């Protein structure tokens, strides 16, 4: 039987009992009215079936994103960091450029053809001569004065000109107190010379001396006897 005043197919509930006091060992307890329990319909009335409701399944929840999408693979992270390091400019060196530059290659000394004045003293006849030859000269070492000439080039230029030395002789120059022999003339007019450094004065002059070879030979024979 449906009761419209209560909205459900059950008879109206009985009146709620008044709160009662219970004693337990001298202590009283009051049960509030909210503790009322509905015993349901009386046993004489058959239970009514529950209304049927249409069941509609709830939509399935969206799948959670996989861990592969949330976390980038290690290779990708490494590649990204590698690209980031390549985009940065290289660090500047703290050393001066000159410290990393290779040592300069020593250049050969510059030789310039100049006029060299030869002051010749022929001890065979006591004659003194002056002649000029054109030979390459190179500057002396740093801190030193004068220039350097090659003995073979000086000898060839001297014997090619009109002031050539005739007869058997030896030609030398003085370097301090030592004789520097650089030319020997044979009986047939041929001459023997070899490359050697000869010191030239800052005025580009060179003093040379000529002696007879027989004088040296006679002195040696006199010492031996």
User: Residue 112 has what pLDDT?
Assistant: 84
180: burial class by Cβ within 10 Å (0-12, 13-18, 19+)? middle
Question: Can you give the pLDDT of all 225 residues of the chain as single tens digits?
Answer: 445 554 555 566 666 656 555 545 555 555 555 555 555 555 565 556 655 555 556 666 666 666 555 555 555 555 455 555 556 666 665 555 555 667 777 776 677 899 999 999 999 999 999 999 999 999 988 888 899 999 999 999 999 999 999 999 999 999 999 999 999 999 898 999 989 999 999 999 999 999 998 755 444 444 444
Look up the pTM and report it: 0.48
Query: What is the token pair recorded at 110?
Result: 């510059």
Provide the β-strand partners of residue 23.
28
Helix (H) or strand (E) holding 24: strand 21-24
Give pairs for 58-64: CB < 8 Å, separation 24+.
none
Through-space distance between the first and last CA atoms of the chain, rounded to whole angstroms: 176
User: Residue 46 has what pLDDT?
Assistant: 59
Query: What is the token pair recorded at 182?
Result: 């650089």
What is the widest separation between alpha-carbon atoms in the chain? 177
Q: Are 167 and 185 in contact (CB under 8 A)?
A: yes
Sign of the Cα torsion 69, 73, 76, 82 reads: positive
Nearest by Cα to 181 from 192, 171, 194: 171
Query: What is the token pair recorded at 14?
Result: 């009985």
Spatial neighbors of 178 by CB under 8 A, at least 6 apart, are none
Query: What is the token pair recorded at 102?
Result: 């290779």
């Amino acid at each position: 039987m449906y009761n419209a005043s209560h909205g459900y197919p059950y008879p109206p509930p009985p009146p709620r009992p008044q709160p009662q006091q219970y004693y337990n060992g001298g202590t009283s307890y009051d049960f509030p009215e909210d503790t009322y329990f509905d015993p349901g319909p009386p046993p004489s009335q058959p239970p009514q079936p529950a209304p049927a409701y249409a069941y509609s399944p709830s939509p399935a929840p969206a799948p959670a994103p996989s861990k592969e999408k949330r976390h980038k693979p290690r290779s990708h992270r490494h590649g990204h960091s590698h690209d980031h390091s390549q985009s940065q400019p290289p660090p500047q060196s703290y050393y001066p450029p000159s410290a990393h530059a290779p040592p300069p290659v020593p250049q050969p000394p510059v030789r310039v053809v100049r006029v060299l004045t030869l002051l010749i003293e022929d001890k065979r006849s006591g004659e003194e001569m002056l002649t000029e030859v054109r030979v390459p000269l190179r500057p002396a070492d740093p801190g030193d004065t004068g220039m350097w000439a090659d003995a073979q080039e000086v000898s060839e230029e001297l014997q090619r000109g009109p002031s050539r030395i005739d007869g058997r002789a030896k030609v030398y120059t003085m370097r301090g107190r030592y004789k520097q022999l650089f030319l020997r003339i044979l009986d047939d007019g041929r001459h023997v010379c070899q490359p050697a450094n000869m010191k030239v004065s800052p005025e580009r002059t060179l003093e040379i001396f000529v002696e007879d070879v027989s004088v040296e030979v006679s002195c040696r024979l006199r010492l031996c006897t």
